[in-house]
Amino acid sequence: MALFALLVLAGIQILYWWYYFRRVSSLEIVNKKELTGFPKVSVVICFKGLPEDFEKNIVAVAEQDYPNFEVILVNDFSSPQDLGEMSDLIGGIKSKTPVRLINASKDIPGKKQAVYDGVLSAEGEYILFTDMDCRPVSSNWIKKMISVLTEKGESVVLGYGPMERGNNLISWFAGFETIMTALQYFGYHLAGETYMSVGRNWMVKKSAYANNYMKMKGGHLASGDDDLMIQAMDGKENITFCLDPESFVYSKPKSDLIDFLQQKTRHISTSFYYPFITSVKLFLFSFSITGYYFLAVVFLFFGKISMTLIIMISILKWIIQTILHHKAFFKLDGMRHFFFYPLAEILLAIYYPVLGLYSVLIKKKSW
């Protein structure tokens, strides 16, 4: 019975890797299509306070190699000092790109109002979202995101936002968790089950955003505008994705455990608005990981199964997973995690229940 339980949980994990995540491994990620037109793009960045390196991040956005775009910075009731620093930065940017600073119309929890105000102010046909603490990896970010649009008339482009290299175990794990999240939402999208995006790198047609804004649920939530918009579209809009390395937008990982858990608690708050079957599948995957290692320890402690057999099953599972995911980790800039995958997965097994308890017991921050 003990052996059967472990094999079932291991089999569930392998099934997910084979059916969903393997799809990312087989992608042709570099889009070689030449742009024949340059629709106007409005890059919208909301801020409440200024993070470290915000100057470099804004300049990296303003200096994109794209002939038809603007940058809209939405001040969500930051301090007068932060607002003054941002105004000084805008005045000193030598880019030819228009950079506008506007104020959010209402001071409410989260940044939904700020995002909406930015969209209303945008002049572009497409809205490209990122965050103040994020930086495009190249000057071709906008160009690459636009280039995946085809004659099918897609309204949404899902992008990828990996983490920079950190300096401790927490930041290293944060990078791994980001990769696992990306494998899930890209894998599900490729299987025709799109359920989320990431706020620091996604693009939407302005008309599609406006048409679906009033259908968004979870108005009381402090975050998750991107996920809620995807849910509001509910198959009515064509959605594509971009995994070209030049389209990546990097951010610094949290290096403090509490900060990391607080950030992830905000992120998972929208999961209650995912389609029921999607929520069940996501839960089953996380449960299979935590359950596998939990039962392995319990069975070993009570002598239900030998250490040798547990190691053999785990090694076989890791080998199969490695075969299925090594290309995906390379495409998602995750090779520094790939070679330590067993350790990362064990940490993931601990992380899932800890995050669940933390999200229930601890008060959430709005930004």
In CATH terms, the fold of domain 31-167+194-255 is Spore Coat Polysaccharide Biosynthesis Protein SpsA; Chain A (3.90.550)
Distance CA 222, CA 12 (A): 33
Average pLDDT on 327-355 reads 95
Residue 77 pLDDT > 90: no
Residues 6 or more apart in contact with residue 238 via CB below 8 angstroms: 152, 153, 154, 155, 156
Residue 69 token pair: 């775009």
Question: Which of the pair, 218 or 319, is modelled with greater confidence?
Answer: 319
Average pLDDT on 81-99 reads 84
Which of the four pLDDT bands, split at 50, 70 and 90, describes residue 229? confident
Residues 6 or more apart in contact with residue 210 via CB below 8 angstroms: 119
Residue 128 pLDDT > 70: yes
Residues in the chain: 367
Residues 6 or more apart in contact with residue 217 via CB below 8 angstroms: 228, 231, 232, 273
Distance CA 345, CA 21 (A): 15
pLDDT of residue 26: 87
Residue 31 pLDDT > 70: no
Is residue 203 classed as helix, strand or coil in its secondary structure?
A: strand
pLDDT of residue 323: 93
Residue 85 token pair: 């620093």
CB 76 within 8 A of CB 161: no
pLDDT of residue 247: 96
Average pLDDT, the chain: 90
DSSP 112: H
CB 12 within 8 A of CB 41: no
Residue 59 pLDDT > 90: yes
Residue 20 token pair: 């969903």
Question: Which of the pair, 299 or 232, is modelled with greater confidence?
Answer: 299
Residue 106 pLDDT > 90: no
The residues with which 158 forms a beta bridge, in sequence order, are 202, 241
Q: What is the reported pTM?
A: 0.92
Which of the four pLDDT bands, split at 50, 70 and 90, describes residue 241? very high
Which of the four pLDDT bands, split at 50, 70 and 90, describes residue 151? low
Is residue 47 classed as helix, strand or coil in its secondary structure?
A: strand
Distance CA 61, CA 130 (A): 9
- Domain positions in the chain: 31-167+194-255
Distance CA 358, CA 303 (A): 32
Residue 319 token pair: 């080998």
pLDDT of residue 272: 79
Residue with tokens 């108005």: 219
